[in-house]
Amino acid sequence: MKNNRVWVLSLCLTLFWIGVIFFASQQPAREQDIKPYLAERVWIKEGVLQAPQIQFHYAGRFHDSHENPLGFAQFMLRKAAHFFLYGLFGLSLLVFLYSGGMKRLKSGLTAGMVVALVAVSDETLQYFSLGRTGCFDDVILDLSGFVFFYGLFLILTRDKNCRPQKR
């Protein structure tokens, strides 16, 4: 084992993020509704309406920033939470595996498979929970978060001997 402190800390963070993911997936959607909180912050609605209009489809639903600014802000915050939560979960798992002595590529592939398994399990659990809907598009978003953080990990841990030599 390369670094015991890093290994223990990354294990604790990995378990923490798994707990957060499954705790959040058990909450009914109405308990996660932050639109009343957003409505109290008038600057959020005004900011969304002053920004260029954004329209797109996600998981079979149409989203329009100007038609429903608070719903749009909530949607974007929820999807950003997916991205970063799974990215940080995957990163902590990746660091756990890497600091335990696994190679960068193997630790990345293993962490990616675990992230995918947890994301699919989470969405399946939501699909069968009252007041929730599972969404395959969220699995893709979750994996995107991991891929982003894995890319940062690769950049930060690259071998300095592989850099081109200055002439």
Of 25 and 87, the structure prediction assigns the larger pLDDT to 87
Instruction: Output the pLDDT for position 1.
Output: 58
Torsion of CA 32, 36, 41, 46, to 10 degrees: 100
Kindly report, residue by residue over 90-121, the tens digit of the pLDDT.
999 999 999 999 998 999 999 999 999 999 99
Q: What is the mean pLDDT of residues 1-22?
A: 90
Neighbours of 107 (CB within 10 A): 21
Question: What is the sign of the dihedral through the CA atoms of 87, 88, 89 and 93?
Answer: positive
With cut-offs at 50, 70 and 90, classify the pLDDT of residue 39: very high
d(CA 90, CA 167): 39
Instruction: Output the pLDDT for position 94.
Output: 96
